[in-house]
Amino acid sequence: MRLSRAVFVPVLLAVLGAEAGAQSPSYRAPRTADGKPSLDGIWQAINTANWDLEPHAARPGPLVPLGAAGAVPAGQGVVKGGEIPYQPWALAKRQEHRQNWLALDPEVRCYLPGVPRATYMPFPFRIIQGADTIIVAYEYASAVRTIAMTGAGDPPADAWMGWSQGRWEGETLVVDVRGFTDRTWFDRAGNFHSEALRVVERYTRTGPDAIQYEATIEDPKVFTRPWTIVMPLYRRLEPDVQLLEFKCVEFVEELMYGHLKKGAPR
């Protein structure tokens, strides 16, 4: 009996797809001494999320003399569903932030970037993995955060980088971050949060040189529902790669304190 093309082709594709899936099992990361997936290494995001988490066209920057050097590159966005679900008042505030970005963005003043923004700024970061704690060291502003794997208790105080507690779910490191100050932003487009922010991060190795990163963001004071960003992180493969210094405080001293100098205009 001869199968018609309409029946045969879908069946063949389904069989081939099943075989391909069987030949390509989920990646299993190298193990640490205690048998956990290893995330050790220097990683970096390659996207435009620090300019704007949502999909956006290229646009001019805030300083005309910089020309193309200060322009914003286009991006497809990293938000699941494309749009951040702001409450109406918060959407209006986000627009105010955009119009006054240069005066208001904490990055301009070298403040600590917070979570998840530290992950996708255009700087590398290093994960140093231990059994009881995982250290994440960021090149930007020499920021550091500690992820407690044995229970960190409640946040003792609000902090720029939050209070991180981690656990393993199979191949995935899950990090619950709370205890934030309300002074960090998510990007240069004015996306923001309140002190009620909670971020749940998920780090999953998808290959020798890649991590799938997800962060679910919850803040009932600002958003109508939780929302999630997703992006790959890539291992830096240069020989002898290391984090270099970007202690930006000295770059903003004139901006922040220049008006206090003797003889400065008031």
Residue 61: predicted pLDDT: 87
Residue 155: predicted pLDDT: 82
Band the pLDDT of 157: cuts 50, 70, 90: confident
Residue 135: predicted pLDDT: 97
* pLDDT higher at 166 or 17: 166
Tens of pLDDT, residues 16-69: 444 443 333 589 999 999 999 999 999 999 999 999 999 999 999 888 898 999
Residue 107 to residue 199: CA distance in whole angstroms: 19
Highest mean pLDDT among 4-8, 152-156, 165-169: 165-169
Residue 118 to residue 147: CA distance in whole angstroms: 14
Predicted TM-score (pTM) of the model is 0.86
Residue 128 scores a pLDDT above 70: yes
Tens of pLDDT, residues 194-236: 999 999 999 999 999 999 999 999 999 999 999 999 999 999 9
Band the pLDDT of 3: cuts 50, 70, 90: very low
Residue 1: predicted pLDDT: 40
Q: What is the mean pLDDT of residues 101-108?
A: 93
Mean pLDDT over all residues of the chain?
89
Secondary structure in 3-state letters for the chain: CCCCHHHHHHHHHHHHHHHHHHHCCCCCCCECCCCCECCCEEEEECCCCCCCCCCECCECCCCHHHHHHHCECCECCCECCCCCCECHHHHHHHHHHHHCHHHHCHHHHCCCCCCCHHHHCCCCEEEEECCCEEEEEECECCCEEEEECCCCCCCCCCECCCEEEEEEECCEEEEEEECECCCCECCCCCCECCCCCEEEEEEEEEECCEEEEEEEEECCCCECCCEEEEEEEEECCCCCCCCCCECHHHHCHHHHHHHHCCCCCC
Range scoring the smallest mean pLDDT among 6-10, 116-120, 174-178: 6-10
Residue 88 scores a pLDDT above 60: yes
Residue 254: predicted pLDDT: 80
Half-sphere exposure of 108 (CA within 13 A, CB side): 14
Residue 131: predicted pLDDT: 86
Q: What is the mean pLDDT of residues 238-242?
A: 94
Residue 266: predicted pLDDT: 61
Band the pLDDT of 7: cuts 50, 70, 90: very low
Tens of pLDDT, residues 249-263: 888 888 776 766 666
